[in-house]
Chains A and B, each alone.
Chain A
Amino acid sequence: AQTVTQSQPEMSVQEAETVTLSCTYDTSENNYYLFWYKQPPSRQMILVIRQEAYKQQNATENRFSVNFQKAAKSFSLKISDSQLGDTAMYFCAFMKHGGAGGTSYGKLTFGQGTILTVHP
C-alpha cells in the first residue's frame, strides 16, 4: 500500500514571497504519478500540478514548480510570487500507473494536507 506524508500542518507566507510545501511518499511501485491539489475554503479541489515518475525533469506550471526526488521519495511544491488567492489547503497525492504486473484505475492516495495562508 502507498502512503503519503505531509509534515507541515500549516504554513504562512507574505504576498509576493516564495514558499515550499513538503511531501514524502512510500511505495514499491516504479511507475506512478504525483499530484498537488489545492482546496480553497468551501471550494472544490483543483489540480495544481502533476509529475510522472518516469520523467526526470521537474514539472512547472506558471508560478508553481516541483522538486521531484525519486530516490528519496520526495515531492515538494514551490509557489513563487505568492498571491492572496493561493490561500488554501494543499494536498499531495499519489496514483500508481498499473499496467503489466498490476492494476490501477486512477485511485488517488492523499496526504493529510498543508494549510497555506498568504498574508498581504
Chain B
Amino acid sequence: DTGVSQDPRHKITKRGQNVTFRCDPISEHNRLYWYRQTLGQGPEFLTYFQNEAQLEKSRLLSDRFSAERPKGSFSTLEIQRTEQGDSAMYLCASSLDGGAGFSSGNTIYFGEGSWLTVV
C-alpha cells in the first residue's frame, strides 16, 4: 500500500506520560500536515512541513507538542505530559505541490489517523 500510513493506530496513555506518533507520507510528496480531530468535529490544522522545514504552527500546538520531519520523509508528532484534553485523533496528510507561498490545490491525502486516549 502506497498511501499515507500512521503508527500506532490507537494509543491509551496515562495523564502525564509522553506519546509519539509516526507518519509516513506518500513517498514523492513534499508537503506533510498534521491535523487533530475530536469526535463529531472537523479536523483542525496543527502544523505542516515543506520537505524538512516546518513552515507554520497553529496556536493549538502548545509547547507540549513538537513535530519533526528530519529528512523530509517521515514525520513524528510528540506530545509531552499528556492531558485529558489531548484525547483526539491525530491525522497526518501529505501532498505534492509546487513552489513556496502558493498552493495549486493538489489533492491532500490523509492517513487513517492515530487515536489517542488519555486516562
Q: Which residues of A contact B (CB under 8 A)?
A: 4, 33, 37, 43-47, 50, 52, 91, 93, 95-99, 103-113
Tally B residues with Cβ within 8 Å of A.
Answer: 31
Q: Which residues of B contact A (CB under 8 A)?
A: 3-4, 31, 33, 35, 40-45, 48, 50, 55-56, 91, 95, 97, 100-103, 105-113
Nearest Cβ distance between residue A9 and chain B, in whole angstroms? 8
Looking at A46, A98, A106, A112, the one whose CB has the most chain B CB atoms below 10 A away is A106
Chain B: CB-nearest residue to A52: B105
Contact B45 A103 (CB under 8 A): no
Contact B110 A105 (CB under 8 A): no
Chain A: CB-nearest residue to B96: A106
Contact A104 B103 (CB under 8 A): yes
Contact A107 B48 (CB under 8 A): yes
Q: Is the interface of B mostly helix, strand, loop or mixed?
A: loop
- Enumerate chain B residues within 8 angstroms of A106, measured Cβ to Cβ: 31, 33, 48, 95, 97, 103, 105-106, 108
* Pairs of residues from A and B, 5 with the lowest C-beta to C-beta distance, nearest first: A110-B42, A33-B105, A99-B102, A98-B102, A106-B103
Contact B111 A96 (CB under 8 A): no
Nearest Cβ distance between residue A19 and chain B, in whole angstroms? 19
Q: What are 10 A-B contacts with C-beta separation under 8 Å?
A: A37-B110, A44-B110, A46-B110, A105-B97, A106-B105, A106-B106, A107-B45, A109-B45, A110-B43, A113-B41
Nearest Cβ distance between residue B104 and chain A, in whole angstroms? 8
Select one of B35, B102, B110, B111 contacting A103, CB under 8 A: B102
- Enumerate chain B residues within 8 angstroms of A110, measured Cβ to Cβ: 42-44
Select one of A97, A99, A107, A111 contacting B42, CB under 8 A: A111
